[in-house]
Amino acid sequence: MHTIFFAVELVLKLLMKVVTLITKEKANYLNVPSDILSPVTVHRICRIGHLLPSHILSVIFGVKTLPNIWPYYASELNRNGAIVPLAIALAFIPIAILNGIIIEKILESTNPTYRSFKNSLIDTNEY
C-alpha cells in the first residue's frame, strides 16, 4: 500500500514540475526549504490537499460526468467496465495539474512566508 502512495507522490512531483513550467515559476510547494513549509505540512498538502481531491474529481469525472457527455463511453461502460480505470487515469493528469495551480495560488495568498519566498525567487532569479 505504501508503494502505491509513493508512486502516486512521484507522479504528483512530476506533475508539479509541469505546473512550474506552465506558470513559469521557480519553485512549488513540494520543493521549498523546510524552514518555509515543514515536511509534515508539505506531506499533508500533498496527500490531503492534492492527491485526494484530484483522485475524487477524476473518479467523479470518469464515472458520472463522462457518460453523460459522451454516448460511446456510456455504451462501452455498460458493456465493459474496463474502460473506467483508463478514463480515471487519463482524467487524473489534467485535474492534478489544475489542482496544483490552485494549491499554489492558495498558498501564496494565505501564507506570507511562502509568498515572500516566492517573491524573493522572482527578485533574485535563484533556485
Give mean pLDDT in consecutive 10-residue pieces for the chain, a chain of 127 residues: 75 87 85 88 87 91 87 82 82 91 92 90 68
Set of cell numbers at residue 76: 462501452
Residue 81, Cα to own-chain centre: how many angstroms?
26
Set of cell numbers at residue 33: 526549504
> Closest by alpha carbon to 127, among 25, 45, 17?
25
Q: What pLDDT does residue 18 have?
A: 87
Q: What is the pTM of this model?
A: 0.83
